[in-house]
Amino acid sequence: MSDVLTFVLPALLQLVLVLVLAPLICGIIGKTKARFQHRQGAGILQPYYDLAKLLRKEVVISSVASWVFRCTPYLVFASTCLIALLVPTVVVPLPLDRVGDIITVISLFALGRFFVALVGLDTGSAFGGLGASREMSIASIIEPAMMLAIFTAAVTAGSTNLSIIVAKLSSTPASMMNPAHLLAFSGLFIVTMAETGRIPVDNPDTHLELTMIHEAMILEYSGRYLAFVEWSSQMKLVIFLALLSNMFFPLGMAASMSPWALCVGGAAFFAKVIVLAAVVAVVESTNAKLRLFRVPELLMVAFILSLLALILYFIIGA
Amino acid sequence: MTTKRRYIALIRKNLGDRLNIREGVAPNELYLSLRRESLGTLPETCSLLTRSFRANFTTLVANDERSLNGTFVLSYVFSVPTDDLFLILQVPVEPRHMEVPSVSHVLESANWFEREVKDWFGIVAFPNIYRLASHPDWPEDVHPMLKDFDPQTSVPRVRGSFDFKHVEGEGVFEIPVGPVHAGIIEPGHFRFSVAGEPIINLEIQLFYAHKGTEKIAEGMSPQRVVFLAERISGDSSFGHAVAFCHCMERLSRCEVPRRAAVIRTMLLELERLYNHTGDIGGILLDVGFAAGAAVALELKERLLQLNELLTGSRLLRGVAAIGGVRRDPEDTPLKRQALADMLVRGRQAFEDLVSLVMSSSSVLDRLETTGILSHTDAYRLGITGIAGRASGMNRDFRRDHPHCAYGPLTFRVHTSGEGDVLARMRVRIDEVRESFSIIEQLQLQDPGEPARTGVVTVPPLQQALGYVEGWRGEIVHWAMTDAEGNIFRWKITDPSFHNWRAITVAVRNNIIPDFPVINKSFNLSYSGNDR
């Protein structure tokens, strides 16, 4: 019984939180971008309606599609849900922190990416192949940059376990302003923009197939398959924002399961994610998309920032 | 007209042995008819004309005159920008031997024109025998523009498939795009051969939007054809309508009232304004700079609403008429005020937009060196309008062949040497500024005067050119009337027809994701091209 209370229930609550929050955050980003374009924009609840609509709609599948095409939406959704259980959101220590650490998170993302890229190739459409090849070539630079940024935090805490990283940082708030820490944060922010398919790396709003990366791979999806893939992408954004906020600024996180602490923790998490989402929207609105061959340069910046962070850590310490 | 005399003397002296010279109805047209026995010298004559008079190939018109004199006539139209003159080289073609030597090797800009003539009339410009306008499932021997082809006949489909140039090699693959696109775009098929991201070759298949406009017009009264002309290409509704009216007026030696010319000029500039601002917005949208695009598209909308207020039509339709214009856009204080407001606030909004765009390094980085069309290629392919001027082609019908009220106006023709997407955007920006200044100069010129002459009777069996510098480039119409004064043959030349080939050259060695913005920077009309 106590197991249920201390592990299963909080874990489920965390999953539900990410599942429910994800469309809202995308709605807020969409609304902010619309205001930058002098538009009224759709309501912030629009992504929920879109998901509900897609879940009800018929699925159209290309006659040449294989089992990969049918399985991938569920696989990506499941792996993203699993990641949602592993990242710090409201409370530390994480209920399931012994199940997997930050390496697990990165690997699960890679798993999802691998299958989505396969789907791009599976239907035989020219755009899917184009998207898959772009995604994989960009991923080969995103992943090292992401690992390096995260390792800076891990080295500081002396562990790759996210709960320990967060706990260590919470106990020494001064180290949040450590230059190494801030550099790693910037590196991971650039990685977030690239990984979640945002301008300046990819344009989530475009109709131009020739310029797409992520959208090109999932172009053939419809109905509930599309709903699951879209929902996973939205969750991925929230997960990255959660990593950014809690791995670097774990302020206000609940340290116990008391209702009051949970309320404060929840409010703090919500506020941090919304601020970051607004920053994402501002970056997206004030920049044009990069030329595809310039994307590696941007990601190299992220890589160098993370590398500098790591070097700084060893020079001046945490 | 002394310059014309000079040209006649010069041509007679040098080419008198192979062609006859005749003056046209319109004062700046010179008809040169190549004698039947000199047909073999056609390519040489064309190249002599272009080189010795710095003339530009403007259009090629085929005309089925079998009912009149038993032959077909091909007219190669050249514009001489230095002396505001058009040289029209006419070549008779016997129905028994429907073949002329191709001029494409000396005049590459004539390539598509020759192929279109082959598809629609069956006149082969040997050896340029490739199809262009009729698709492979259309029978080889059916030529819809012949007078004895009834447009109501249903033509059987034959088996055939598109034949694209294949690039082979390791890692080279083809990407087919269209003809149905995402978004609200006209139909066209693009076949890319790419090695990874860089484009090795692009083949374009158009004519999905062919409506048979030229054929429908045959036998129609010119007054009705004005409405047809407005529907050739939506974004150039007014340009095409004025080009056609201009053609009919020149053909009937009718002088339009000064006020009408002023209004036409003003509306042509308003058409240029809304299209240029819209294109700037489109380019920004294609590089993902939605915040800048929103500003541009908002200004475009305001210009369209101004059009509606001034003329009753957002696209300036229903205004042009043979002999003048139907409406005066400055006839009420409200309209005058709206126009004056646009000149102040619109200008300000536009300058704000320009400073927003030009200060965004991420936008400039996308536009610079993207989709370069070299001056050599632009000259070779005869690229017109903004696309040509951005590649250093100093041509503009507003200055070279003054029409409407452009003659006495002061304005500059802006060119740029770079030929990239940014150059095409810069030329647009400069032209928008000129357009504001032109409208300012024209504001309240001869207000209240009649803007249309009485009923214009169009004389029978006459031919003339009509032209306008539309926002995209030179719009040239050529028409001939039949014995009743109705349209016998109408040839429409939209600038897009010249410029589509530029895209295939400009995208080479660029990367696939830059294609949309390169395409947008030309913004060519499918409808105007396919007619």
Q: Which of residues 56-85 of A touch B (CB under 8 A)?
A: none
* Residue B505's pLDDT band (cuts 50, 70, 90): very high
* Residue A291's pLDDT band (cuts 50, 70, 90): confident
SS3 call for A8: helix
Of B177, B183, B294, the CB nearest to A39: B294
Q: For residue A253, which of A269, A275, A277 has the smallest C-alpha distance?
A: A269
Here the ipTM equals: 0.86
Mutate to test the interface with A, among B280, B284, B289, B299 (most CBs of A within 10 A): B289
pLDDT tens, residue by residue, B469-484: 999 999 999 999 999 8
Contact A292 B511 (CB under 8 A): yes
Virtual torsion, Cα B109, B114, B116, B121, nearest 10 deg: 160
Q: For residue B288, which of A211, A269, A150 has the smallest C-alpha distance?
A: A211
Contact B175 A126 (CB under 8 A): yes
pLDDT of residue A4: 67
pLDDT of residue B414: 92
pLDDT of residue B373: 93
CA angle A277, A279, A280 (to 5 degrees): 65
- Average pLDDT, stretch B441-464? 81
Spans of all domains in chain A: 2-316
Higher pLDDT among residues B2 and B59, named by residue: B59
* Residue B1's pLDDT band (cuts 50, 70, 90): low
Per CATH, the architecture of B2-126 is what?
Answer: 2-Layer Sandwich (3.30)
pTM over 0.80: yes
- Average pLDDT, stretch B120-126? 90
Structural contact between residues B86 and B25, judged by C-beta atoms closer than 8 angstroms: no
Residues 6+ away with beta carbon under 8 Å from B100:
B39, B42, B74, B91, B93, B123, B124, B125, B126
Give how far B350 is from chain A: nearest CA, Å. Answer: 16
pLDDT of residue A101: 87
Output the six-digit token pair for B55: 């003339």
Distances (CA, A) of B236 to A95, A175, B423, B473, B528: 66, 64, 22, 10, 9
**Which residues of chain B approach chain A closer than 8 Å at the C-beta?**
173-177, 182-183, 196-197, 284, 286-291, 293-295, 298, 360, 362-363, 365-366, 370, 511-516
Instruction: Say which residue the tokens 């927003």 belong to.
Output: B356
Q: What is the CATH number of domain B213-319+330-448+456-530?
A: 1.10.645.10
* Residue B18's pLDDT band (cuts 50, 70, 90): confident
Alpha-helical segments (H) within B54-196:
66-69, 111-121
Of A129, A209, A292, the CB nearest to B197: A292
Virtual torsion, Cα A225, A230, A234, A237, nearest 10 deg: 100
Q: Give me the residues paired with residue A121 across strands.
A: none
Q: What are phi and psi of B56, to 5 degrees?
A: -110, 135
Residue A1 has pLDDT above 60, yes or no: no
Mutate to test the interface with B, among A39, A289, A297 (most CBs of B within 10 A): A289
Asked if the C-beta of A36 comes within 8 angstroms of chain B's C-beta atoms, the answer is yes
pLDDT tens, residue by residue, A197-231: 888 888 888 888 888 888 889 989 999 999 999 99
Asked if the C-beta of A288 comes within 8 angstroms of chain B's C-beta atoms, the answer is yes
* Residue A188's pLDDT band (cuts 50, 70, 90): very high
Give the residue from chain B lying closest to A281, CA to CA: B291
CA angle B250, B255, B260 (to 5 degrees): 110
Q: For residue B428, which of B360, B367, B382, B359 has the smallest C-alpha distance?
A: B367
Of B176, B362, B516, the CB nearest to A211: B516
Residue B114 has pLDDT above 80, yes or no: yes
A67-86 vs A9-36: helix crossing angle, rounded to 10: 100
Contact B511 A38 (CB under 8 A): no
Structural contact between residues B222 and B241, judged by C-beta atoms closer than 8 angstroms: no
pLDDT of residue B23: 86
Structural contact between residues A292 and B511, judged by C-beta atoms closer than 8 angstroms: yes
Rounded-to-5 percentages of helix, strand, coil across chain A: 75, 0, 25
Contact B513 A39 (CB under 8 A): no
Using CA atoms, how far apart are residues B194 and B171, in angstroms rounded to an integer?
8
Residue A318 has pLDDT above 60, yes or no: no
- Report how many Cβ contacts below 8 Å link chain A to chain B: 83
Residue A293 has pLDDT above 80, yes or no: yes
Chain A CB contacts of B284 under 8 Å are: 288
Residue B54 has pLDDT above 60, yes or no: yes
Give how far B516 is from chain A: nearest CA, Å. Answer: 7
Residue A97 has pLDDT above 80, yes or no: no
Q: For residue B351, which of B436, B443, B274 has the smallest C-alpha distance?
A: B436
pLDDT tens, residue by residue, B350-385: 999 999 999 988 899 999 999 999 999 999 999 999
Exposure letters B220-258 (e unless 16+ CB within 10 A, then b): eebeebbebbbebbebbbbbbbbbbbbbbbbbbebebbe
Spans of all domains in chain B: 2-126, 213-319+330-448+456-530
Contact A292 B183 (CB under 8 A): no
Give how far B356 is from chain A: nearest CA, Å. Answer: 10
Structural contact between residues A105 and A87, judged by C-beta atoms closer than 8 angstroms: yes
Is the alpha carbon torsion for B213, B218, B220, B223 positive or negative?
A: positive
* Sequence-ordered strand ranges (E) for B279-349: 320-321, 324-325
Contact B288 A294 (CB under 8 A): no
Three-state helix/strand/coil letters over A171-236? HCHHHHHCHHHHHHHHHHHHHHHHHCCCCCCCCCCCCCHHHCCHHHHCCCCCHHHHHHHHHHHHHH
Q: Supply the mean pLDDT for chain A.
A: 89
Chain A CB contacts of B287 under 8 Å are: 288-289
Using CA atoms, how far apart are residues B288 and A203, in angstroms rounded to an integer?
7
* Residue A126's pLDDT band (cuts 50, 70, 90): confident
Give the residue from chain B lying closest to A282, CA to CA: B291
- Average pLDDT, stretch B96-118? 92
Contact B513 A207 (CB under 8 A): no
Residue A2 has pLDDT above 70, yes or no: no
DSSP one-letter string for B21-53: EEE-SSTTEEEEEE-GGGGGGHHHHHHHHHHHH
B126 alpha carbon, distance to own chain's centre: 26
Residue B497 has pLDDT above 90, yes or no: yes
Asked if the C-beta of A48 comes within 8 angstroms of chain B's C-beta atoms, the answer is no
Using CA atoms, how far apart are residues B452 and B449, in angstroms rounded to an integer?
9
pLDDT tens, residue by residue, B178-227: 788 887 889 999 999 988 888 999 999 999 999 999 999 999 999 999 99
Output the six-digit token pair for A312: 């700084």
DSSP one-letter string for B179-190: SS-SSS----EE
Chain B CB contacts of A292 under 8 Å are: 197, 511, 513-514
pLDDT of residue B350: 94
pLDDT of residue A251: 85
pLDDT of residue B489: 93
CA angle B304, B310, B312 (to 5 degrees): 80
